[in-house]
Amino acid sequence: MQQKNKTILVTGGLGFIGSHTVVELQNEGYDVLIIDDLSNSSIEVLDGITQITNTKPKFFQIDLKNKEAVVQFFKEQTVDGVIHFAASKAVGESVEEPLKYYENNINSLVYLLQEMIKNKINHFIFSSSCTVYGQADRLPITEEAPTKPAESPYGNTKQIGEEILSDTSKVTPLNAIALRYFNPIGAHASTNIGELPLGIPQNLIPFVTQTAAGIRQELSVFGDDYPTPDGTAVRDYIHVVDLAKAHIAALERLLASKNVEKMEYFNVGTGKGSSVLEVINAFENTTGEKLKYKIVGRREGDITAAYADTTKANEALGWKSELTLEDGLQSAWKWQMKVNS
Ligand code: WQD
């Protein structure tokens, strides 16, 4: 659906998922404003987006913890809706530096919402995570599954963020959708944008591609004694382009006032679980690259298995994933070779 003249603010729009969502918004005819503080992204991503869409989004280098800067932005800009990605997201780092995570992820959300409500901007999409479920009691995981005490301050900021939105939407005109991502992987087919982990990758797929590229010596597989078919942990790996498109579907639900609750939650995954060893085999078969790995002990805080029941998103958002695990691994590898070149 073409959305001429609708302007959408994407916070964290130079990040991994944010940049892919900006591309899909521009493909749908939205005007896009990006706020990013460049703390975990680089300005070159703006060129990457522009190379894909031939439309350069307006960029504002703003730290959303700076309340005055947020107030000023909304004084100067007219916005129809907000998709909020800007947050710190390294699980391990959040355990070491909890206050950095609470300040960055919560204060920025509060300041953003205060100014949106003041300026009568009532459509908000929140980047949440399946981490709110912890180890769910039943698989696949539906949105009715109870949230569990977070295993990390990072996960806790996602739960707190959802609660802030739920409480606020009850007593203001704000309408919000929380998208609970499973495991985002891959890169845009153009290889103009992709995942740019700073330092040693925490997540599996960037570590896999950096190992195959010879940047890392060997992949450590964190545990093969889980109660799963091959003993390694199971996750739902969703292509970042499919994930980006889910944000468009959620935004259009709010813009068309089709939401049935003031605050709604959707799982965004493929509905298929893959073990670490299955990912390794799929990577080798898809790319022809041999992967050096060893089995080590479990990583603290990891759960055994998570994969989504995507019925609600399929039916209410009219969205479903179309790309496969192999598509994600292939695009991640092509991106890695581009970054290395
Ligand atoms: C996947 C699987 C690891 C690295 C986290 C956050 C989630 C989201 C995605 C931000 C697990 C195993 C990993 C490695 C391994 N974060 N693994 N060797 O932990 O499922 O989710 O990242 O948006 O909110 O919780 O993702 O990619 O770290 O791990 O064996 O070098 O790969 O044990 O089973 P995770 P992950």
CA 318/CA 315 separation, integer angstroms: 5
- For residue 290, the SS3 value is coil
**What pLDDT does 2 receive?**
57
Our mutation pick for probing the ligand 1 site, out of 91, 157, 267, 279, counting the most ligand atoms within 8 A of Cβ, is: 91
**Nearest partner of 278 among 228, 316, 312, judged by Cα:** 228
CA 208 – ligand 1 centroid, Å: 12
| Residue nearest ligand 1's atom 8 by CA | 183
Residues 283 and 257: their CA atoms lie apart, in Å, by: 42
How far is residue 31's CA from residue 42's CA, in Å, rounded to a whole number?
21
Q: Report the DSSP pairing between strands 58-61 and 31-36.
A: parallel
Å from CA of 338 to ligand 1 middle:
23
Among the atoms of ligand 1, which is closest to the Cα of residue 233?
A: 34
What is the distance in A from the centroid of ligand 1 to the CA of 75?
40
Task: Tell me which of 105, 302, 329 to substitute to probe ligand 1's pocket, judged by most ligand atoms within 8 Å of the beta carbon.
Answer: 302
Contact 12, 86 (CB under 8 A): yes
Which residue's C-alpha comes closest to atom 36 of ligand 1?
203
Nearest residue by C-alpha to atom 4 in ligand 1: 204
Give the mutation target among 127, 198, 276, 283 for probing the ligand 1 site: most ligand atoms within 8 A of CB. 276
For residue 103, the tally of other CB atoms under 10 A from its CB is: 14
Q: Which residues line ligand 1 (CB under 6 A)?
A: 89, 91, 129, 131, 183, 202-204, 207, 219-222, 233, 235, 276, 299, 302
**Contact present, 227 and 135 (Cβ < 8 Å):** no
Which atom of ligand 1 is least distant from the CA of 152? 25
What is the distance between the alpha carbons of residues 194 and 16, in angstroms, rounded to a whole number?
6
CA angle centred on 245, ends 85 and 34, rounded to 5°: 35
User: Which residue's CA lies nearest to atom 19 of ligand 1?
Assistant: 302
Residue 92 tokens, joined = 């391990």
For ligand 1, what atom is nearest to the CA of residue 232?
A: 34
pLDDT value for 204: 98
Please tell me the residue having the least CA distance from ligand 1 atom 17.
Answer: 204
Question: Distance between CA atoms of 116 and 35, rounded to whole angstroms?
Answer: 14
Cβ neighbours of residue 318 closer than 8 Å, sequence gap 6 or more = 249
Alpha-carbon torsion (255, 5, 189, 341), positive or negative: negative
In order, the DSSP letters of 151-212 are: SSHHHHHHHHHHHHHHHHHHHSS-EEEEEEE-EEE---TTSSS-----SS--SHHHHHHHHH
Q: Which pLDDT value is given to residue 106? A: 98
**Residue 83, φ and ψ in degrees, nearest 5:** -115, 120
Contact yes or no for 307/278 (Cβ under 8 A)? no
Catalytic residue selected from 30, 111, 133, 154: 154
| Known catalytic residue at 154 | yes
Residues 6 or more apart whose Cβ sits within 8 Å of residue 263: 162, 165, 166, 169, 170, 175, 176, 177, 178
Cα–Cα distance for residue pair 207/220, rounded to 1 Å: 9
Task: Using the mean position of ligand 1's atoms as its centre, give its distance from the Cα of residue 74 in Å.
Answer: 36
Q: Please, what are the domains in the chain? A: 7-185+237-269 (3.40.50.720)
- What tokens does 191 get? 């290889």
How confident is the prediction along the chain (341 residues), in pLDDT tens digits per residue? 556 689 999 999 999 999 999 999 999 999 999 999 999 999 999 999 999 999 999 999 999 999 999 999 999 999 999 999 999 999 989 999 999 999 999 999 999 999 999 999 999 999 999 999 999 999 999 999 999 999 899 999 999 999 999 999 999 999 999 999 999 999 999 999 999 988 899 999 999 999 999 999 999 999 999 999 999 999 999 999 999 999 999 999 999 999 999 999 999 999 999 999 999 999 999 999 999 999 999 999 899 999 999 999 999 999 999 999 999 999 999 999 999 98
Of all atoms in ligand 1, which is nearest to the CA of residue 299? 33
Task: Tell me the H-state helices in the chain.
Answer: 16-27, 44-53, 67-76, 91-96, 98-102, 108-118, 153-171, 204-212, 240-255, 276-287, 311-312, 325-340
**What is the reported pTM?**
0.97
Q: What's the CA-to-centroid distance between 201 and ligand 1, angstroms? A: 10
DSSP state of 308: B
Q: Which two tokens stand for residue 46?
A: 């703006």
